[in-house]
Structure 1
Amino acid sequence: MKLFSFWFIAVLMAAGVSAQDKISSFQTERNEVLLLSGDHKSIGRKNAAEDLILTGDLKTDTKIIMERYELEHKNDINANPEKKSVLLATALSTLVPGAGQFYNDEIWKSAIFLGLEAGLITGAIIYNKKGNDKTAEFEGYADNNWSVVKYAEWLLNNRSALGLPDGDITIDPNTNLKPWERVNWGELNHLEGRFSHKLPPYGEQQYYELIGKYPQYNHGWADQLNDNTPEYNSNITPMFLGYSTMRGDANDLYNASTRFITFVVLNHVLSAAEAAWSSAMFNKHLTLNMRVVPEIVNKATEIEMVPRLNISWKF
């Protein structure tokens, strides 16, 4: 009987030691979790275990610990993408359409705006070149078929009928010179005082415009054979009309180039506005939270730390 009592006491003592070891092990593991969490407010809780009054029974003491300590710490993993700079996105797309979209990680939008930019610039260059070619064509046509000498002679021959002021126009008789090299331009402009326009110096844009625009210059064209009449409104020649059409074609080509340039500017504006809007919406509506939450699960006499992953994506 004494032997049995001694053996029973020894078992109780062993059970108590075992319970204390498990409790101590649990407390140690919990404190380590708290230390690794980086949450300084939670770290202070580990010292509260010193105030616990334990019974020595493993099951009871485990229940006490779990009721006393609710593990509230949550490891937050900052998975939020870096916010986009609205100002930077806007500036990039203002300089190069599509650059702001590329910064916003919207590659397909970037490709669209950049492709439009390339296409529009190419169109502007092509039509501007076509306009230059047509301009060179009609200027060459004018140099070969319109003569300021012929025009000056018509003015002199019809001075009285046209009501021109007194004066003369010096014309160099050297026919080897170009027509615009043979006439005194100042004297010519003086006699033109009655008209609404005076002929600009040779080579200027207005020079080529006026000789195909105003009927008074009709008598400078090679196919105008009657220079002895003061009439100049009703006898417009085919060369005058054909030249006017050529100039109109050149202007149409230049206008097309200008429209392309207008759309280039518009593409910059739209790309900048879209980049600003997209970056603002990204910062406002996109939230990605990832949290690892340690959770105590009591499985009979076992305690297990279970990480939980929460992901939310809001628009």
Structure 2
Amino acid sequence: MKISLVGAGAIGNLWAGALAKQGHQLHLWRRQPGNTYTLNWQDVHSSREDTFCFDSNQPEQLANSDVIFITVKAFQVADAVTTLLPWLSADTPVIIMHNGMGTEDEVLSLLPDNPVLYATTAQAAFRPDPHSVRHTGNGPTYLGGVNPAGLACSGLAELLHTALPPCHWQTDIHEPQWQKLAINCAINPLTAIHQCRNGELSETRYADELTAVCHEVSAVMTAAGYPIDTVTLRQQVMAVIEATAANYSSMQQDVAHQRPTEIDAITGFLIRQANHFQIATPANTRLWQHIKDLEQHYD
């Protein structure tokens, strides 16, 4: 397939290399200027690197794409979609993958006719430099449509599954999105604030705060129609902390490098939903405010 991938960050580069290894024709749409982009790609199971040279920023290739795959951060999604509009055919499927929730309504207003799909992934990647990416952990990817045309594109799950398995088609993509959001609410802000690896959160000093966060998140998820109790969510969070103990969260990396975070699409989205359901979220609100304060005091 001819695939245009928008956003060559760690996750974008991970998927670009994985899809290219399957023989697909990858074209990258990047903020950085240039007509080509070289990527050194390392699989989680091997120390050997594959090197790819991708065409980039080619409007003609964008217009001729079979599918558009957008992997920018949540706060960049609307601008990214807007830049594509002059060349985007109305029947081209658009897959959007980012941490958090809350961009769907604006995307659907920008793309009223396109098949629109959202994906969430537990695949992990690390970008040691702008032209390299390492696959650092396997995890499931979930894909689902958010409009009728998108719901008719279930075959795209096989495209992603072949490149980086497993990928599962979801008739309600909001369910795995909420599950991922819940984990991120617990892990990402704390690792960013304390500048630690995920595994450090298993220490006793974080236990009460993690429980408070999980209690609030479970209440909001249940009100939103995705019921889960505090104990079950807390167990799921601890399982992810243990499974990714050596990893740094994306928010930790953003704060470490003084970049804007996705806190508004993760904890901020949770708080907005909580306000809608009139549920108090003091623990999550403290974490949200702390991250916002850190961002405002970058050098």
Which has the larger share of helix?
1
Higher relative contact order (CA 8 A, sep 6+): 1
Q: Quick check: which one's strand share is greater?
A: 2
Interval of TM-score (by shorter of Structure 1 and Structure 2): under 0.3
Structure whose alpha-carbon radius of gyration is higher: 1
TM-score by structure 1 length? 0.21
